[in-house]
Amino acid sequence: MGLIHSFYTQSFPPKSKFSVNDIPDLTGRVIIVTGGNTGIGKETAKALLAHNANVYIAGRSQEKVEEAIRDLKEQTGNEANFLKVDLADLHSVKAGAEEFLK
């Protein structure tokens, strides 16, 4: 029975009860979004900026992140910050964390 129930709920998930419109005002909140220059990360950054969060987009390509920051500013009116981090390189992660804490 559990297997059939799981198969059904995974195949036909219920309608979401929480949407981007339910996010409260995030003024004063500081949020780091990794991979925020594209895909799911960019959509996440967009939703957070639209609700006034102070967003840091952590990425390995300054050029790509700055392009995303410009794009997101046009869409939300709010500007994110760039944080240089290559998640595949622990030295870069440490440097990025130190830069952020400054």
Ligand X SMILES: NC(=O)c1ccc[n+]([C@@H]2O[C@H](COP(=O)([O-])OP(=O)(O)OC[C@H]3O[C@@H](n4cnc5c(N)ncnc54)[C@H](OP(=O)(O)O)[C@@H]3O)[C@@H](O)[C@H]2O)c1
Task: Supply the minimum distance, in Å, between the C-beta of residue 53 and ligand X.
Answer: 18
The single residue among 3, 88, 90, 101 that binds ligand X, judged by CB under 6 A, is: 88
The CA distance from 23 to 10, in Å, is 25
- 4 forms part of the interface with ligand X (CB under 6 A): no
Q: Work out whether 59 is an interface residue with ligand X (CB under 6 A).
A: yes
Tell me if 40 contacts ligand X by CB under 6 A.
yes
Q: Which class for 41: exposed (0-12), middle (13-18), buried (19 or more C-beta within 10 A)?
A: middle
Report how far apart the first and last C-alpha atoms of the chain are (Å, whole number). 54
Which residues of this chain interact with ligand X, rule CB under 6 A?
A: 34-35, 37-41, 59-61, 64, 85-88
